[in-house]
Amino acid sequence: MWSNKPRTMHQQQHPLCTRTHQIGSLLLVAATFFLTRLLDAPCNLSSTVSQQKFLGLHRLPESQELSLKIYVYDANEIDGLKELLQGRDGKITPEACLKGQWGSQVKIHKLLLESRYRTKKKEEADLFFVPSYVKCARMMGGLNDKEINQTYVKVISQMPYFRLSGGRNHIFVFPSGAGAHLFKSWATYINRSIILTPEGDRTDKRDTSAFNTWKDIIIPGNVEDGMTKAGSTIVQPLPLSKRKYLANYLGRAQGKAGRLQLIELSKQFPEKLECPDLKFSGGEKLGRKDYFEHLRNSKFCLAPRGESSWTLRFYESFFVECVPVILSDQIELPFQNVIDYSQISIKWPSSRIGPELLQYLESIPDEDIEAIIARGRQVRCMWVYASDSEPCSAMRGIMWELQRKVRQFHQSAETFWLHNGSIVNRNLVEFSKWKLPVPLP
């Protein structure tokens, strides 16, 4: 209520508090609030905002903060799991498996053990990680294909939480071009599980691919640690003006059409395209330093498909600051929901490998090449297997992707639920009382 009393001289010196004044005051309060939040934003969102600018992300993950809890199975808690890690005789070591493309199996396992998202309580876990170094063990003679298959089946049969979810919340790593096909019965036992692999297409020798874009995650290949470490690396990039070749392909032919075409092309244009005949062994075999010194000596690094669609050369090129040219039509690349690969690489049809490819690459001005390299320099931290607490690392990217895969609803052919929310099996036995080994399909 407004007062009807006459105002004193002192009161008359101040204007009435009208509705306009009230609205103005509210606007001032609102403006102050939003300005304060804006000024506070760099403190609260610094990692997200800087990450967006740093990586050139066109779309951030759905959640600013990750809320994952991952249980990592211990080698001693399940009969057979140790064999998947160390081979039948226990002679395979993590150190022996760190090198080459198989090293991501070891690195992901190690980094998850140290992760802030790890839980030691199965009952509170969102996801379960099944460690295995089977690709390495197979290559080193520690396991054969039949043993790998039988051991995986035995291990899975002892996991009640696997059956509870139908395998949906269990994570497996297959770091080579074979993908999950290394486990011959993958389609029967882990076709609903989350598979981490650099291989998004493995249909060249099989009718079906083990990779499913809805549930699986593409991971980066394992680049030599000496090239990804901070500080002095095995070799340093060369200025564009000092690079001898326009492009190179450093790989073996292996009878693959695209690779054979590049080798023939290099014979036509040896001054533009370097394609040395790489040897598996002997005095002519390139050492790691020699390999990267060759790789850095071109403006463009050509990455054709080999036995499968993915190639480690794509990732290596970023660390010698050579523009990767993808010649693999079916390739799937990691973290495609946040990284715009058209800004950091070139993809050329594999059916058009010939002189016109070199003509196109030759037409690109050095300033454009430098811009692509600069953007790649920002993104390449996503290929480095470092802690998920780092603002930019392969593990951080994997965690983002895993967050999107979490399904809280447990459902498999063996699980049923009652009115009070309890989970039971076909015999109406409560989940907590299930006995091992749990029946499998």
* In the chain, where the domains are located: 70-222+406-410, 225-384
Q: What angle do CA 204, 206, 212 make, to 5 degrees?
A: 90
CB atoms within 10 A of CB 139: 14
Protein fold of 225-384: Rossmann fold (3.40.50)
Residue 43 clears pLDDT 60, i.e. is over it: no
The DSSP line for 143-174 is: --HHHHHHHHHHHHTT-HHHHHHTTTTEEEE-
Quote the pLDDT of residue 115.
Answer: 97
Mean pLDDT of 165-184: 92
- pLDDT of 204 > 80? The answer is no
pLDDT of residue 281: 61
What digits encode the pLDDT tens for the residues 412-434? 888 899 999 899 988 999 988 98
Res 394: pLDDT: 96
pTM of the predicted model, to two decimals?
0.83
- Residue 227 confidence (pLDDT) above 50: yes
pLDDT tens digits, one per residue of 298-324 = 999 999 988 788 899 999 999 999 999
Q: What is the pLDDT confidence band of residue 264, given thresholds at 50, 70 and 90?
A: very high
Q: Is the predicted pLDDT of residue 111 greater than 70, yes or no?
A: yes
Task: Spell out a b/e string for 268-300, using b for 16 or more CB atoms within 10 Å of the CB, else e.
Answer: eeeebbbbeeeeeeeeeeeeeeebbbbbbbbbb
Task: State the DSSP code for 430.
Answer: B
DSSP string across 399-429: HHHHHHH-------TT-EE-TTS-EE-TT--
Mean pLDDT of 171-176: 94
Average pLDDT, the chain: 85
Query: Is the per-residue pLDDT at 177 higher than 90?
Result: no
